Structures are given as C-alpha cells and as structure tokens.
Structure 1
C-alpha cells in the first residue's frame, strides 16, 4: 500500500494532490454529484482543473469505517488506477491509498 495523495475538506468537497510515477496532479477536487441515480452510482466526480479524471463511491471497511473507493481513468492512462480515500483519524484531512490489485485465483479443473 502506498499513499498517493493528501486532501483537505473544503465545504462539501475534498481538495488535494495526487502523485505517482505516472500522475503528477495538483489541485485535484472530489465534487459531490448532484444527480446520483441510485446506491451504486458514484457519490463524487473527481476533477483535475476542468477535466473529469475519475469517480468515487462511498464504502465501509469490515469494521464499519467509512471511506471512498476511487477510480481514476483518463485517455492518458494505460490502465485505470483504483485507490481508497480514507478520512484521517485527526483533523479534516483525507489520505488517498493505492494498493496493487490481487491477481485472480486460479480455477481448479
């Protein structure tokens, strides 16, 4: 797991930066959607400047801690990047965590 971003709460949005070897983004914003159509619809759209670069959904950990599951996708990326945005234990900050997806389990014949 790696921290790839830090964010602060600004009104009902989250503002911060995302840094990986492929992404060097300042001024990233998580903006609540105003027309969420159902439980499975994203709760936030993610922007870098005026460009929509991702979406986020509310989730809960096994012990009930809320977080947002985030998917970054853009034509400049070779593959989407999945991460999780957790509220910091102290203050109004949030931390964006990336971890490598687990490979699918082999199916026994």
Structure 2
C-alpha cells in the first residue's frame, strides 16, 4: 500500500494532488451528475480541468465511507485503482494505492 495523494474536502469536492514517480498533478474530485446507478459519483480532474478519472461512493464492512477511485489516461500503461479514505487528521483524506491481485 502506498499513499499517492492527499486531499482536503471543501463544499462537497476534494482538492489536492496525485503524486507518483511518473505523475504529479494538482487534482480536484468533484461531484458528478449521475445518469444511472452505475455512473460515477465523482469526476476527477487535473488543475487544467482535464478529466482523468472517476470515483464511486462505498461503505466498508466497519461502516466507514470511502471513495473507490479509478484513474486513467492514454499515457498510463494501465488504469490506477485506489481508495480515498479519511486520514487521522480531521478534514484530510489520503489516496491509497495497492496492487490488485493478479497484477
């Protein structure tokens, strides 16, 4: 597991940055208009308003809410799947990546 981003929540959106060895992008996670039940709850945009991901609201077995995140871009060799969870510090959220089984 690795923390690849840190965010704060403001008016229903999350702002922060995604940082890996190959990505360093100021990022906003904004609520999306849902066209159907399978549509994402959030759209993920870079600072220049380019969409490069989506997120869905989930609830853990312990009852904690989190966002299931998928980041994708033609420059990526494969999509990045991560989880946005509230950190120990109130109002701060960490984007945590872990390799999927079989990858």
Fold-level match, TM-score > 0.5? yes
> 1:107 maps to which residue?
none
> Runs of 5+ in structure 1 lacking a partner?
105-109
Q: How does 1:1-109 map to 2 (within 5 A)?
A: 1-26=1-26, 28-33=27-32, 35-48=33-46, 49-103=48-102
> CA-atom RMSD, angstroms?
1.3
CA deviations on 1:27-62 (whole Å, 9 max, x unpaired) are x000101x2023321000000021001000001112
TM-score (norm 1): 0.87
Rounded to whole Å, the distance in 2 between the matches of 1:70 and 1:29 is 13
Give the drift of 1:22.
Answer: 1.9
Give 1 or 2 for the bigger CA radius of gyration.
Answer: 1
Rounded to whole Å, the distance in 1 between the matches of 2:36 and 2:58 is 14
Give the drift of 1:93.
Answer: 1.0
The alignment covers a number of residue pairs equal to 102
